[in-house]
Amino acid sequence: MKIGFDSEKYLEEQSKFILERVRSYDKLYLEFGGKLLFDMHAKRVLPGFNENAKIQLMKKLKDHVEVIICIYAGDIERNKIRNDFGISYDLDVLKLIDDLRNETLSVNSVVITRYDNQPATKVFINKLEQSGIRVYTHKATKGYPSDVDTIVSEEGYGMNPYIETTRPIVVVTAPGPGSGKLGTCLSQLYHEHKRGKNIGYSKFETFPVWNLPLKHPVNIAYEAATVDLKDVNMVDPFHLEAYNEIAVNYNRDVETFPVLKRIIERITGSESNYQSPTDMGVNRISCGIIDDEVVQEAAKQEIIRRYFKTGCEYKKGHVDLETFNRSKLIMDALNLKPLDRPVVEPALTYAESLKTNRPDKTYNQVVAIALDETTYVTGKTGEVMDAPAAAVINAIKNLSNINDDVHLLSPAILDPIINLKRQHLGVGNATLNCEEVLIALSISAAFNPIAQVAMEKLKALRNCQAHSTTILNSSNEKTLRDLGIELTSEAAFSTDSLFYNI
């Protein structure tokens, strides 16, 4: 993989800038936009970016930092899923707490925002409290967003409990957007100011990158990643007016800035230091870009990847047609086509060649994996294993220089698993999925040296690109994700079955 980003240089600049901002206050509430851990979007559009850069930065400042995690009660109720992990937001909160503790970072508490005694949320609160986690609940803020007098009063932020914090930097994070991070920061500013403390608010930003051009592919990739939120990049008009300098921001930040500025000024009783929403951000991403050409190409590939993802989400009924059409418009803006993702054509070509053998009511499920810029392997669904499993097996055989005619998996291992599924578990489709095949491979590796050699190559699949001619079920998606394979899929199901498409 070509490198276009220097993560160490970025961390040095970003941490220095945060410390400069902290010096102006007794305490700084730092809202973290994007993913705190495993920021795979940033890793994809900025080759060389450390997906856990934010955690690495926090570790540099660990003696000064504690963390508050926010989650919107409505996201718990509707079981909202974090797509890059395939887990719900509430489970991601638990994972985030574990991950932060493993990095010896201090977790202060969890805040449930817009809480209204929702039943599933009550269960989640109980689970946290039984585990010794402090939990605070915030109801919807009365008067928000327009009635500043009510918002900044005992009827507004005053109704929220005060969260006791002890360190000069309080990081406020969440599983995803719309979780109430900003409201939590402002509520704390209100309570801290009542206690006579000089408190600041800032936002740790990654995208869009304020000092890259508006139409730079990295910034357009941010729009592609947030089509469901209808985020649109724009020139920050407040920054332009205050400094006569072009800065890129996005519509939600620009729209809320006047109200946000008024709220902060009402809380503090003095004029805000911030003249624009860009001022509020701490974003030194551009200083880490060392090869703009590499970064631009990576961002374009991410835009195509997001187009495929949105198409699949539309097919599943998770997003509307407007959202999907918007992702297509973003593609058109850069003259991108689905086939500009190199791994797509080998998958489609192989599937086309299988058309004559297609049974009724099924489709040619084919998965292609790119091992490098010129080497592609494919796998199709057969009687024994499905397409993702076949593609992975073929990939590691190729990487191990094992002849295609050599069978890594003996029928003596595979047949009992198939019989178990069919005869004892009552599974109608007993074809082995990717996880089951890899378990069988690990058993074979115990007494078959060739299988052991192939299995050692699984780690070489990390960061490989793959494409499927149909939407994969959640089990196969998770296995490929765990292997580190970057997957896209055509917006088509492999069967007309409603249940087996889950």
Block means of pLDDT (10 residues each) for the chain, length 502 residues? Answer: 93 90 90 86 95 89 93 94 83 95 94 96 97 97 92 96 95 92 96 94 93 97 93 96 97 94 93 93 95 98 98 94 97 97 97 73 81 95 94 97 89 90 83 95 93 96 97 94 96 77 58
The CATH number linked to 412 is 3.40.140.40
Q: Give yes or no: residues 408 and 261 share one domain.
A: no
Determine, yes or no, domain membership for 328: no
CB under 8 Å to 318, separation ≥6 — which residues? none
Say how many domains are in the chain.
2
**pLDDT value for 363:** 58
74 and 142 share one domain: yes
CATH of the domain at 165: 3.10.630.10
- pLDDT, residue 361, reads 44
Same structural domain for residues 262 and 127?
yes
Are residues 278 and 350 both part of a single domain?
no
Is the domain of 26 the same as that of 101? yes
Tell me whether residue 468 is in a domain.
yes
Burial of 462 (0-12, 13-18, 19+ CB in 10 A): exposed
Let me know whether 361 and 284 are in one domain: no
Domain match, 278 and 358 both: no
Q: What strand order describes the sheet that includes 169-173?
A: 135-137, 106-113, 65-72, 169-173, 27-32, 199-204, 281-282
Q: What is the DSSP letter of 437?
A: H
Residue 305 lies in a domain: no
With beta carbons less than 8 A apart as the criterion, state whether 261 and 274 touch: yes
What pLDDT, on the 0 to 100 scale, is given for residue 405?
A: 86
User: Is residue 120 domain-shared with residue 193, that is, in the same domain?
Assistant: yes
**Do both 255 and 359 map to the same domain?**
no
Is residue 268 domain-shared with residue 376, that is, in the same domain? no
Residues 6+ apart with CB under 8 A from 112: 71, 72, 73, 76, 121, 124, 125, 135, 136, 137, 138
Range of the domain at 36: 7-208+247-288
In a domain, 213, yes or no: no
Helix axes 449-456, 434-445, angle to 10 degrees: 130
Same domain as 350, residue 283:
no
Whether 242 maps to a domain, the answer reads: no
Q: 441: exposed, middle or buried (C-beta count within 10 Å: 0-12, 13-18, 19+)?
A: buried
Q: Is the domain of 55 the same as that of 129?
A: yes
Report if residue 449 sits inside a domain. yes
Tell me which residue of 57, 32, 76 sits closest to 182, measured CA to CA. Answer: 32
Give the global pTM.
0.91
Please check whether residue 191 lies inside any domain of the structure.
yes
Among 486, 401, 389, smallest CA distance to 436 is for 389
CA distances from 191 to 271, 344, 428, 439 (A): 18, 54, 59, 54
- Residue type at position 452: Q
Task: Establish if 498 belongs to a structural domain.
Answer: no
